[in-house]
């Protein structure tokens, strides 16, 4: 230790949580000032996964950007594609066909289930030894998520980075036998979700470690732009799917779960309720998809064929982590002039300096897990 920098009165220990720690869900570093086991101050350092996606968007034409943004939130690529293509469509006021809207809604809800399953598994892992090794929930959830990836593979040909949406509609129609596979998969996951709920909620250690831990104040959360399940667990009844419907959400019945405690357990409850709600929407939708074309524009043969009208647009969708938006300025060429992606996780991570002080290090890990940050979209 460097004696010049040692503060004998403070007697604080500085601990770097991350950047390679598994509980940070990616590559993320938080510098903690600790008094014994209790955190006094926390300073996050994001940016380890910065890949310059927004600069790439300025260099690529509109139709070439979709596969790039797939990798932003690498747990829900379908919703990334939806968010950016909706902004590009808003520039030219392109109306997507009804069947495309239904398929987009179906895909987004299928993806939300997969994303929440991965969160549930890693959240169990964050609890570590408290839950019989913790890895059992993780393994169960990954088994189910594989089935969802199989559905997407049948639909788009890729398990993960689909590149299936484009400006004006979708690129892949659902194949024969798809409805049957989806119905089987999601019925099964719906049954097993109850088992996972029982595994966690009936565990006294899980309740003790999540109840009253990491309470988020709703007023602060709104000023920080936090959205999605975190905001709804703090008592704000607001969901873009219901309040500003896009795709086919105005024709879908949707219950928005809300909790008022604002702690990790409330966020767990909201996400589990959303998981079940999304499964219900998938099973409702799968039989009622209308017939028709899936793309409003002619298939793009050349990458530069689509040009955005001079102007700007902002479009947002409700992703599994909250409001995923895209702000785009067009200058009339085949490339965006400026494209800003508004990731929900970036706003969620900015809560950490407010949540961490006063907590034990073990509680900080649980709090970070309950925020469900995806560092790929925080850093972009």
Partner 1 sequence: MTVPDDVTRLLAERFGLESGDPITVSRDRVVELGGALKEAGFTYLVYVACAHYPATDAEPDRTVAEYRVRRLPVDEVAFRVWVPTGESTPTLVPVFAGCDWQEREQFDLVGTIFAGHPDLRRIMLPEDWEGHPLRRDYDIATRHHPWR
Is residue 261 a contact point for partner 1 (CB under 8 A)? no
Considering only residues 220, 290, 292, 303, which one is a binding residue for partner 1 as defined by CB under 8 A? 220
Q: Which of 250, 246, 249 is nearest to 89 (CA)?
A: 246
Distances in Å between the alpha carbon of 282 and those of 21, 69, 113, 277?
35, 24, 9, 9
Q: Could you tell me if 138 and 144 are in contact, meaning their C-beta atoms sit under 8 angstroms apart?
A: no
Contact region for partner 1 (CB under 8 A) — 17-25, 79-87, 168-176, 236-244?
236-244
Q: Could you tell me if 332 and 307 are in contact, meaning their C-beta atoms sit under 8 angstroms apart?
A: yes
Is residue 309 a contact point for partner 1 (CB under 8 A)? no
Minimum CB separation of residue 256 from partner 1 in Å reads 11
Between 38 and 329, CB nearer to partner 1: 329
Is residue 223 a contact point for partner 1 (CB under 8 A)? yes
Minimum CB separation of residue 92 from partner 1 in Å reads 17
Considering only residues 14, 50, 194, 290, which one is a binding residue for partner 1 as defined by CB under 8 A? 50
Distance CA 62, CA 84 (A): 10
Minimum CB separation of residue 212 from partner 1 in Å reads 23
Is residue 346 a contact point for partner 1 (CB under 8 A)? yes
What DSSP string runs through 57-110? HHHS-HHHHHHHHTTTSTT-HHHHHHHHHHHHHHHHTPPPPHHHHHHHHHHHHH
Site for partner 1 in 53-112 (CB under 8 A): 54-55, 58-59
Considering only residues 46, 257, 308, 369, which one is a binding residue for partner 1 as defined by CB under 8 A? 46
**Token code pair at residue 255:** 């219950």
Contact region for partner 1 (CB under 8 A) — 147-155, 205-213, 295-303, 323-331?
323-331
Distance CA 267, CA 280 (A): 20
Is residue 173 a contact point for partner 1 (CB under 8 A)? no
Distances in Å between the alpha carbon of 250 and those of 101, 107, 235?
11, 16, 23
Is residue 7 a contact point for partner 1 (CB under 8 A)? no
């Amino acid at each position: 230790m460097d004696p010049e920098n040692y503060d004998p009165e403070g007697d604080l220990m500085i601990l770097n949580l991350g950047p390679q720690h598994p509980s940070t869900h990616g590559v993320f570093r938080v510098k903690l000032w600790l008094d014994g086991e209790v955190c006094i101050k926390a300073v996050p350092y994001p940016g380890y996964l910065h890949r310059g996606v927004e600069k790439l968007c300025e260099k690529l034409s509109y139709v070439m950007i979709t596969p790039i943004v797939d990798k932003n939130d690498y747990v829900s690529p379908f919703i990334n594609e939806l968010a950016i293509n909706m902004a590009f469509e808003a520039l030219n006021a392109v109306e997507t066909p009804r069947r495309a809207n239904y398929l987009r809604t179906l895909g987004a809800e299928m993806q939300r289930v997969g994303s929440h399953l991965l969160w549930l598994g890693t959240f169990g892992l964050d609890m570590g030894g408290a839950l019989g090794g913790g890895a059992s929930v993780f393994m169960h959830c990954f088994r189910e998520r594989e089935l969802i990836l199989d559905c997407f593979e049948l639909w788009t040909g890729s398990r993960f980075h689909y590149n299936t949406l484009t400006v004006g509609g979708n690129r892949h129609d659902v194949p024969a036998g798809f409805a049957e596979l989806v119905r089987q998969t999601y019925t099964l996951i719906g049954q097993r979700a109850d088992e996972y709920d029982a595994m966690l909620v009936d565990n006294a250690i899980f309740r003790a470690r999540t109840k009253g831990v990491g309470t988020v104040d709703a007023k602060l959360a709104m000023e920080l732009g936090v959205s999605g399940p975190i905001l709804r667990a703090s008592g704000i009844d607001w969901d873009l799917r219901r309040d500003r419907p896009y795709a086919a959400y105005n024709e879908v019945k949707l219950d928005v779960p809300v909790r008022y405690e604002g702690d990790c357990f409330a966020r767990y409850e909201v996400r589990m309720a959303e998981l079940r709600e999304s499964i219900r929407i998938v099973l409702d939708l799968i039989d009622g998809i209308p017939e028709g074309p899936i793309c409003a524009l002619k298939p793009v043969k050349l990458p530069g064929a689509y040009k955005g009208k001079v102007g700007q647009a902002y479009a947002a969708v409700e992703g599994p982590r909250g409001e995923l938006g895209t702000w785009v300025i067009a200058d009339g060429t085949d490339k965006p002039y400026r494209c800003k992606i508004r990731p929900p996780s970036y706003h969620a991570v900015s809560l950490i300096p407010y949540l961490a002080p006063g907590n034990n290090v073990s509680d900080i890990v649980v709090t970070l897990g309950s925020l469900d940050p995806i560092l790929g979209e925080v850093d972009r």
